[in-house]
Structures are given as C-alpha cells and as structure tokens.
Amino acid sequence: MSVIVLDKDAAVSHLQRRPRVSLERGAIILVTALWVLGALMPILALFVISVLRAKGLSFDFSLTLQAYRDVLVDFRLEIILRTLRVVAVVTLIEFLLGYPFAIWLAKGIRSGLAKSIILVLLVVPFFLSPAARTIVWRSILGNDGLINNLLLSVGLVDTPVSWLLFSEFAVHLGLIGPYFPSMVWPIFISVSLIDDELIKASRDLGATGLQTLWYVVTPLAVPGIVAGFLFTAIPMLGDNVASTLLGGGRVALIAESFDDLIRAMNFTGAAALGAILVVAVIATALIIRWVLVHLDRNNGHRLKVMSS
C-alpha cells in the first residue's frame, strides 16, 4: 500500500521530468535486454548444450559430462595448452611493442597531421582479408621465400632455413601484425588522456624519463593496458587464420578444433570446448587484472575508482 502511495508522490513531483526519465529507463532496459539476448543467452546455451547427451543431430534431455570426456582427450589438452601459451606470448610481445608505440603516438608526436595519418594507417589492414594479408608471409618465410633467398645469396646458410615457415615461429609472427592495433588503440587513448602537466610536474620534481614512465604514466594508463590485453588476447584465442595458413598442420590451435568438431557434427563436444574456453578467458581476465592491481599498490585505487 505504502509503496503505491510513494510511487504516486514521485510521479507527481517529477511530472515535468517524467518523459525524459522514462525514456532513459526504457533505453537502459532495451540495451540490457539486447545484451542478455545477444551476448549472455548464447553463452548460457553453450553451457546447457555442453551437458546434454547427443542423439543424432538433436539432444537427449538428460544431463551428462560425456561431451567433456570426449573433448578433453590428450591431444586436445595439448592444443588448449599450446593455444594459451601462444596467445600469452604473442599478447606479451604486442604489449612490449605496442606500449612504447602508443606512448610515442600520444605524447611524442607534436604534429596533429602526422598523428592522424599514423592512426589511419593502423586501421588500414582491417580492410584487407585476414587470409590475404597472412598468406603474404608464405612468400617471405618459405624455402624459396624472400628471407631464405637473401640468406642463401649472402652465403650465411647453404640450405634454406626450414623452420621459418610452417612452424610455431611462423604462427607467432603471423599473429603479431593483425592484433597490434587492438593493443595500441586502448593504450593510446588512456595515455592521451594523461594531462601533460602531470608529466612536466614529474620531471620538475626530479624524475628521469623512466621514473616518470613507471610512477606516473603506467599507473594512469592501467585501464587502457587492461583493455589492450583483453582486446588482444580474447579474439586471438579464436584465430584460425594464422595457424591454418602458417602452421602447416603442425601447430594446431583451438580454433581449428571447433572447425573439426562442427564438421563432424559433434555439437555437444563443440559446446563443451566453447564452455572451457569461456571459463579460460574469464580466468585469464581475472588473472591479468589481479596482476596489474598488485603490480603497484597505488594502481588498485585507480582501478577501483575506474570500476566504481
């Protein structure tokens, strides 16, 4: 009863703002609904399907962990671990390359034009087909590719270096290019937002460039760095282009397993593998966050402020 009266009061006192409030509320509800439908439901469905029993093309509605048992065979465990390792290594390389680059882009370049040009160049590769830009590596790394020809003609080697192509090395190399912008963009944005005066103040108080980087720039760029790691690592987990084209069947990554399972119409298996991957991704995200938060006691406050 009292609830209804309260509602009436609120409605009367906010009479003039009512349309705006209901519009905002409507938008929030709509977005939430879309998010639940578009993002959460499929993931939930993934978990549900993964514990059902397959019956031909359809499912028998009884719970079982059979799909997990089928999927988690030795060679697939190996694939999962390899995928995690490759993604971790390449993401780290992206960070080591991307962080200085993002800082230079955000604070080092004076000319606005040069900055715009570089930012555009960063996105241009997205307009190329992933397969097209990856396959180029074959003509560079192959036995009669650019590098081997060069090495042979200089006389550094007698026979072509064979581990350049169809190897883990090649897969790593092939993954670096496509995911570089994903690392650079969020870091670039958060470094750009750091007030120049803070950097000047740090120098003025006696900090060297490296000290300013460690004590001022990095803590303030943490949100961007976290985003960079997530935007880089998560899509990379699902990448099948580099491993297919440059791995030569020797460096199977998890994305190929999905292709295989679905081709074999083992949907519960694919769902189980997907569920494992989702858990792995969330776990990785939490680990990255934990590491960054504990990297420096100060950073924690910042993150808390950002996420509250």
Question: In the complex, which residues of this chain contact other proteins (CB under 8 A)?
Answer: 195, 197-198, 200-208, 211, 215-216, 219-220, 298-299, 301-302
Decide whether 214 or 290 has the Cβ nearer to other proteins: 214
CB of residue 118 vs other proteins: minimum separation in angstroms?
23
CB of residue 216 vs other proteins: minimum separation in angstroms?
6
CB of residue 209 vs other proteins: minimum separation in angstroms?
9
Report d(CA 302, CA 308) in Å as an integer.
10
CB of residue 284 vs other proteins: minimum separation in angstroms?
25
CB of residue 47 vs other proteins: minimum separation in angstroms?
38
Decide whether 176 or 216 has the Cβ nearer to other proteins: 216
Decide whether 138 or 203 has the Cβ nearer to other proteins: 203
CB of residue 31 vs other proteins: minimum separation in angstroms?
29
Decide whether 82 or 302 has the Cβ nearer to other proteins: 302
Decide whether 32 or 211 has the Cβ nearer to other proteins: 211
Cβ partners under 8 Å of residue 246, min gap 6: 134, 137, 138, 141, 165, 166, 170, 171, 173, 174
Q: Identify the burial level of 121 via C-beta atoms within 10 angstroms of its C-beta, where 0-12 means exposed, 13-18 middle and 19 or more buried.
A: exposed
Q: Identify the burial level of 81 via C-beta atoms within 10 angstroms of its C-beta, where 0-12 means exposed, 13-18 middle and 19 or more buried.
A: exposed
Decide whether 216 or 276 has the Cβ nearer to other proteins: 216
Decide whether 110 or 263 has the Cβ nearer to other proteins: 110
CB of residue 110 vs other proteins: minimum separation in angstroms?
12
